[in-house]
Amino acid sequence: MKVWIKLLIGSVLGIALGLLAPEHLGLGEALVWLEQFVLRIGRYMVFPLMVFSLTIGVFELRQDGQFWRLALKNVLIIAGVSVFVIFTGVFAALAFPPSRIPILAEDQLDYISLDIARSAMELFPSNMFSVFAGDGVFLLPICVLAFFFGMGLSYDKSYTKPVITLIDSLSRIFFHIASFFIEILGFLMIILAAYWAIRFRGIVQAEVFSELIIFLTILGIVLGFVIFPLFMYFVRPKTNPWMTLYGFLGPAIAAFFSGDILFSLPVTLRHAKENFGVQRRSNTVSLSLFSTFCRAGSAMVAAVAFIVIIRSYSSLGISAAEVFSISIRALLISFVLFRHPGSGAYTALAVLCLGYEQGFEKGYLILKPMAFYLIAIGAFLDVMISSFATYATARISGYDKGKAAAKFI
């Protein structure tokens, strides 16, 4: 059975369980712990997989003389896609504004911060090996270590060849182990989807968020399933956009119900490799950059939600200067959400509110009941961007080997 079908069946069963289970059973409380347990399983192989695969990927690109060229392509795509997605979402929210949301009295602010200074310090700890002792959430220090390690392997082949062979073997071993975990994700998706459905049932019953939910759902579908695939028409050599979309359904499902970029990363890595033949050297470098620095989907969702909050707090309109300011701030935030793989959209919304001031510091709290939904849509779009962009970059650079759709996993 194909991976995306397993994930879909697990998700459907989980949704049915969450929607049909009687509320008095206390299923929601049990699923809180189970959700965290499942997310840990999904993240379990990310660090060892990425440190060895990215190291050998950087080395191979360096041998090809293509590392900086490929990195530059990824950076340009990240910048271009981020601008397009965020401004598209903001203009859509202004053209088809969801209704206002009643203001809820909240006195306690959540402590939410991007903590960029701390992140910068952790990139180069006093003890290099301490990056392996992290909590499994902050991927960037591992990527930095892998970059320097991969560059260092080019020093002198007579000395580094045994190490290269070892790292290459470890990369393949951990990819094989990660593939096993991906095969059982269908069962784990039942838990994630059930908890998602229970929370969704709660916000639907509240009714006040209905229009925002519908708006974000339509916007997510149009961007993820229509606009992003259409960009593949501009990729050369020519490729079928809809076959590309079909090949990345697995990561899309995993991202939506987990809301977690790291949980989805091994799934995306495997689908890019086994469905489209994207070579490891391109696959690992591109996905590392996009998963770390391209969170445009989450930032766009936050910008849309922030516009709804402003309209809910005030009957005054939003000036063109304010719209531009919100868009630019959301764009900048999208590049620095690397410490928040599982709470991107809500964290970005909180930062927008806290930084905007003018009485909006507590604004994000009125959307706290639907934070999981904001995160789900944001993570879905983030993963769709990274999936399509990774394949497009490999296609343009000649690092893919085409496969028939019948052979997709």
Distance (Å, rounded) from C-alpha 372 to C-alpha 387?
22
Instruction: Kindly list the domain boundaries of the chain, sorted by start residue.
Output: 3-407
Q: Which tokens is 209 given?
A: 């968020």
The whole-number pLDDT of residue 113 equals: 76
Q: Which tokens is 203 given?
A: 């916000």
Q: Which tokens is 121 given?
A: 């310090």
Distance (Å, rounded) from C-alpha 303 to C-alpha 25?
37
Find out whether 364 and 330 touch, Cβ atoms under 8 Å. Answer: no
The whole-number pLDDT of residue 13 equals: 95
Q: What is the DSSP string of 382-407?
A: HHHHHHHHHHHHHHHHT------GGG
Find out whether 17 and 194 touch, Cβ atoms under 8 Å. Answer: yes
Indicate the DSSP class of residue 226. I
Q: Which fold has domain 3-407?
A: Proton glutamate symport protein (1.10.3860)
Q: Which tokens is 64 given?
A: 């090809």
Indicate the DSSP class of residue 28. H
Find out whether 353 and 361 touch, Cβ atoms under 8 Å. Answer: yes
Distance (Å, rounded) from C-alpha 370 to C-alpha 392?
33
Preceding peptide of 237 cis, ω within 30°:
yes
Q: Please state the pTM of the whole predicted model.
A: 0.94
Give 118: exposed, middle or buried? Use CB within 10 Å, 0-12, 13-18, 19+. exposed
pLDDT tens over the chain, length 409 residues: 889 999 999 999 999 998 888 776 667 778 889 999 999 999 998 999 999 999 999 999 999 989 999 999 999 999 999 999 999 999 999 999 888 887 765 556 667 778 788 888 888 888 887 887 777 788 899 999 999 999 988 877 778 889 999 999 999 999 999 999 999 999 999 999 999 999 999 898 878 898 999 999 999 999 999 999 999 988 888 889 999 999 999 999 999 999 999 999 999 999 999 999 999 999 999 999 999 999 999 999 999 999 999 888 776 678 888 899 999 999 999 999 998 998 889 999 999 988 876 767 778 888 999 999 999 999 999 999 999 999 999 999 999 887 788 888 8
Distance (Å, rounded) from C-alpha 367 to C-alpha 377?
14
The whole-number pLDDT of residue 25 equals: 66
Nearest to 53 by CA among 205, 175, 189: 175
Find out whether 288 and 67 touch, Cβ atoms under 8 Å. Answer: no
pLDDT 10s digits, 163-218: 999 999 999 999 999 999 999 999 999 999 999 999 999 898 878 898 999 999 99
Indicate the DSSP class of residue 407. G
